[in-house]
Structure 1
Amino acid sequence: MGRKLDPTNKVKRGPGKKARKQQGAETELAKFLTDEETGPKRLSSRGRKRREMNRSCQIKHHLCVCQLLTHVVVFQSCKENPELLPIERAAKKDKKLKEALDLESDEDDDEEEDDEEEQKSDAEMDEDDTIQTNTDEGERFRLPGAEESEMEGVTPLDLKSIHQRIKDNIDVLCNFSTKREPGKDRTEYISLLKKDLCTYYSYNSFLMEKFMDLFPLSELVDFLEANEIHRPVTIRTNTLKTRRRDLAQALINRGVNLDPLGKWSKVGLVIYDSSVPIGATPEYLAGQYMLQGASSFLPVMALSPQEGELVLDMSSAPGGKTTYIAQLMRNTGVIVANDANADRLKSVVGNIHRLGVTNTVVSNYDGRQFPKVMGGFDRVLLDAPCSGTGVIAKDPAVKTSKDEADIRRSAHLQKELILAAIDSVNAESSTGGYLVYCTCSITVEENECVVDYALKKRNVKLVPTGLDFGTEGFTRFRERKFHPSLKLSRRFYPHSHNMDGFFVAKLKKFSNVIPTAAAGKGNRSLQNSVDPTGNSHC
């Protein structure tokens, strides 16, 4: 019915009916009125009905007001001026009626303006309904033609349009039988989707194809979006020097906003924001905590070292996992922290001294040659060098710098390292005989393929990791079929677990004897794992 007008706060809205009727008003009104305002307006059916109702109400209102004013004016004129002649009273009455009608006309102008605003809002609502209807009943997503593709090569689409096309394309692929364009093959939609994803998220074609094989389309975008966001900063409490509650209180007093990492960790804290540099607090310098990603906790928890054991960390830099192992062993037993890069070992030594670790020996050997140096370890941790496809949020250069040759080289090195790590384990250990293999990559070639290769070449078996969460490893991937026990391994993804992409597998060595087939053909089969065409086989 229109908005209620507040007479005490009347807004000046331009000329009304009286101003339009005055002589010479056309030139003045031209300054205020536009062509749309002066031209005829086409009202909707609802607007016409409202206009007729308003006119009938106004006519009735005018009649009532005129009758009332007539009686009031006559009564007042008779009371105030009883000596006036009838003709004088009539003139005075007409004057007052005219003034009253002028006031009514001003109010009518205001009401008409309110009606116009209502009509405009109704028109906007009708337009919105029409747009929504058109959207709901619009044409289905169609693949761009040859001319459109050529135009995109000259003038690329903006990212917003590409993002919308990605969503529409995924929607079609998820409901391909009902939403596909007649005569179009699924491969055409997949090809367009890969191209758009590479453009929007800045990946090379090889890596995007790997991810499209790894994830369902509905999950793929979530993974790619998670790689654009940095993971939360996490720290590990050094229980050799303090307790988590005491450390948390000390950091809170320094203006650090933090929370426990999760029920799965008793030593982790997640840092939301801090008014002081978290890597330069007195507590950090005193060795009360270590800056360490949440995913790096997992392999040490799976290794579960016991007090008094002999443990090898084959690729130990920068020392986060080594010092965590020492913490769980309470500085008992012996840890050998090895790394092939002498420069990176400097950070290992620095962290060992800062955190108060006293049971660790540092060595600089190629891990593949380590069994010739020493063996007989109760437990071995192998955090193998990898392509880094799980830590793209930390290193965006991985998006374009990795290709098929990098994956092949990494997988070949990992297969050599895992065999050396198994040979360093003592299967007759009373408390151990375990190997934990982990990478910060999510490709199957660097994880399940490597573990499956080790199962065939050495006397080992997969055992549960002891981790209560994570995604099971693949037992089948495309045309490849792995050992059924690989479901005991665990995968971690940034979009699912809010941590870097990681793979963890725990193996138990049940015999120190190297199988004859592996001893005679191990090197040759490993060399043949990469054929001359460049294809990697598991």
Structure 2
Amino acid sequence: MRECVRVLGNFAKRGETGRARTEYVDQLVSDIASYYGYNDFLAEKLFSLFPVAEAIEFFEANEVPRPVTIRTNTLRTRRRDLAQALINRGVNLEPIGKWTNVGLQVFESSVPIGATPEYLAGHYMLQAASSFLPVIALSPQPNERVLDMASAPGGKTTHMAALMQNTGIIFANDATKARTKSLTANVHRLGCKNVIVCSYDGREFPKVIGGFDRVLLDAPCSGTGVISKDASVKVNKSDRDFALLSHLQKQLILCAIDSVSPTSATGGYVVYSTCSVTVDENEAVVDYALKKRPHVKLVDTGLEFGVPGFTKFRGKQFHESVKLTRRFYPHVHNMDGFYVAKFKVGKPSKAKGEKEEERELKGIEMDEGEQEEITFDPEEDQPYLHEAKRQRMKAKGLRPPPRNRAAPSTATRTVTAAA
């Protein structure tokens, strides 16, 4: 592998005569798959994301466990007080970095970090540093209505509750009902009083409930960013898996956007995140959302570090604003591979031609160049309004007024054609 990397680093000078660059690349990918235990498909897919030397760093970083990190629950304590209490118990720790004021990195501990009195009292949450990122990007404000579409086991939900100071309301949803048990337990343990736990397929929103100020969608993904935690990803992912996941993610992101109120006074934001590094699950999904929902735009995530998202990849061109999204890598940031994108949702405008399509569906044809102006006579509409009122009262179990004897006549329309 080292020889292939050396040659590919300066192929013009070091390449053997008669051997193409692709031969060296194929050999290197095959060696990576064999040495690190990946199937050929995934090894090639991940290798294509990086320059040659960096690709080796990425695969090597996936063999090393990420640091143990905890998030201070500011509803119960302060980070300084928590750090001192844990140090007194024999825990060696320090703040994660300047980008978070609630995170602590644990180096070693003489007590089980998930069973200390402070943990049981809800003073902190065992949580990967990367999962702080989408909540920081979303930046929920006090008294807002927020939806966490895929919330179990509750790290991000409880983080949002702390930022909102237990005000407003958070709908913590997870499609798998069994997972809501751990979610509910963490919500209670950390003292979050503004959380409602529910279990719906994320694609059912906003039919279930909408009009949120902010929505967080930490989407189901392939897990290519957390291989150090789950080595099975190396061999159990195929092209079909990525196609199915990408399709689901595209459905979910549109539902997340539609669940946000564009008239929100303080919000109107959606954050999309995955613990994957592949383009099909990240930039391709974000670009799809921008095309399908023209009234949304990407905005800065507010994260001070991270690698900008791809605007082009292997012949695919994405919207220029996709560079505002952020990628995080294990070999660069010493945290799980992660992706974060932030949308601002505006008011949807009627697409050109929508009126004509609507009329066609109703069987009304329009001549070319025809402009229509429709006016209604209130008296002629009265029978319809009366009948609608009767139907509403019947639906509520009330006794409706008697039906008008005169049969409702067809409402007339005055159509004025453009000269």
Specify the structure having the higher radius of gyration (Cα). 1
Which structure exhibits the higher relative contact order, with contacts defined as CA atoms closer than 8 Å and separated by 6 or more residues? Answer: 2
Residue 206 of structure 1 corresponds to 41
* TM-score, scaled to structure 2: 0.83
Matches of 1:392 and 1:415 in 2, distance apart? 23
Give how far 1:513 is off: 5.0
In the superposition, relative to structure 1, how do residues 417 and 519 fare at CA in structure 2: closer, same or farther (>3 Å)?
A: farther
Matches of 2:182 and 2:356 in 1, distance apart? 40
Residue 300 of structure 1 corresponds to 135
In the superposition, relative to structure 1, how do residues 352 and 232 fare at CA in structure 2: closer, same or farther (>3 Å)?
A: same
Q: Which of these residues, 107, 110, 116, is aligned with residue 275 of structure 1?
A: 110
Which aligned pairs between 1:91-170 and structure 2 lie closer than 5 A? 166-170=1-5
Residue 403 of structure 1 corresponds to 238
Q: Which of these residues, 337, 342, 345, is aligned with residue 177 of structure 2?
A: 342
Post-superposition CA distance 1:144-165 (Å, at most 9, x none): xxxxxxxxxxxxxxxxxxxxxx
Q: Which of these residues, 308, 313, 319, is aligned with residue 477 of structure 1?
A: 313
Which residue identity lines up with residue 365 of structure 1 in the other structure? Y
In the superposition, relative to structure 1, how do residues 228 and 335 fare at CA in structure 2: closer, same or farther (>3 Å)?
A: same
Asked if residue 492 in structure 1 is aligned to residue 338 in structure 2, the reply is: no
Residue 60 of structure 2 corresponds to 225
Matches of 1:520 and 1:200 in 2, distance apart? 61
Residue 357 of structure 1 corresponds to 192
Give how far 1:424 is off: 0.1
Give how far 1:174 is off: 1.1
Q: Which of these residues, 300, 303, 315, is aligned with residue 467 of structure 1?
A: 303
Say which SS state the counterpart of residue 361 (structure 1) adopts. strand
Which aligned pairs between 1:172-321 and structure 2 lie closer than 5 A? 172-321=7-156
In the superposition, relative to structure 1, how do residues 309 and 440 fare at CA in structure 2: closer, same or farther (>3 Å)?
A: same
Hey, which of these two has a bigger chunk of helix by percent? 1
Which aligned pairs between 1:47-62 and structure 2 lie closer than 5 A? none
Residue 202 of structure 2 corresponds to 367
Give me the identity figure in percent.
65
Give how far 1:512 is off: 4.1
Which residue identity lines up with residue 451 of structure 1 in the other structure? V
Matches of 2:237 and 2:206 in 1, distance apart? 31
Matches of 1:509 and 1:473 in 2, distance apart? 20
In the superposition, relative to structure 1, how do residues 197 and 282 fare at CA in structure 2: closer, same or farther (>3 Å)?
A: same
In the superposition, relative to structure 1, how do residues 520 and 227 fare at CA in structure 2: closer, same or farther (>3 Å)?
A: farther
For these two proteins, the number of residue pairs brought into alignment is: 356
Matches of 2:266 and 2:230 in 1, distance apart? 39
Matches of 1:446 and 1:283 in 2, distance apart? 37
Asked if residue 502 in structure 1 is aligned to residue 345 in structure 2, the reply is: no
Which residue identity lines up with residue 60 of structure 2 in the other structure? E
CA contact (8 A) 1:386 1:441 kept: yes
Say which SS state the counterpart of residue 47 (structure 2) adopts. helix
Which residue identity lines up with residue 466 of structure 1 in the other structure? G
Structure 2 unmatched runs, 5+: 358-419
Give how far 1:446 is off: 0.3
CA contact (8 A) 1:493 1:500 kept: yes
Say which SS state the counterpart of residue 499 (structure 1) adopts. coil
Matches of 1:210 and 1:298 in 2, distance apart? 25
In the superposition, relative to structure 1, how do residues 499 and 377 fare at CA in structure 2: closer, same or farther (>3 Å)?
A: same
CA contact (8 A) 1:426 1:512 kept: no
Matches of 1:200 and 1:174 in 2, distance apart? 20
Say which SS state the counterpart of residue 372 (structure 1) adopts. coil
Asked if residue 383 in structure 1 is aligned to residue 218 in structure 2, the reply is: yes
Give how far 1:271 is off: 0.2
Say which SS state the counterpart of residue 48 (structure 2) adopts. helix
In the superposition, relative to structure 1, how do residues 170 and 483 fare at CA in structure 2: closer, same or farther (>3 Å)?
A: same
Matches of 1:465 and 1:317 in 2, distance apart? 23
Give how far 1:247 is off: 0.3
Say which SS state the counterpart of residue 206 (structure 2) adopts. helix
Give how far 1:478 is off: 1.4
CA RMSD of aligned residues (A): 1.6
Matches of 2:231 and 2:50 in 1, distance apart? 20
Say which SS state the counterpart of residue 409 (structure 1) adopts. helix
Post-superposition CA distance 1:339-384 (Å, at most 9, x none): 1000001111000000000000011111101111110000000000
Give how far 1:180 is off: 1.1
Give how far 1:254 is off: 0.3
Name the stretch that deviates more: 183-192 or 511-520. Answer: 511-520
Give how far 1:272 is off: 0.3
Which residue identity lines up with residue 454 of structure 1 in the other structure? A
In the superposition, relative to structure 1, how do residues 430 and 249 fare at CA in structure 2: closer, same or farther (>3 Å)?
A: same
Say which SS state the counterpart of residue 224 (structure 1) adopts. helix
Say which SS state the counterpart of residue 371 (structure 1) adopts. coil
Matches of 1:397 and 1:518 in 2, distance apart? 48
CA contact (8 A) 1:457 1:515 kept: no
Matches of 2:291 and 2:219 in 1, distance apart? 19
Post-superposition CA distance 1:380-402 (Å, at most 9, x none): 00000000000000000000111
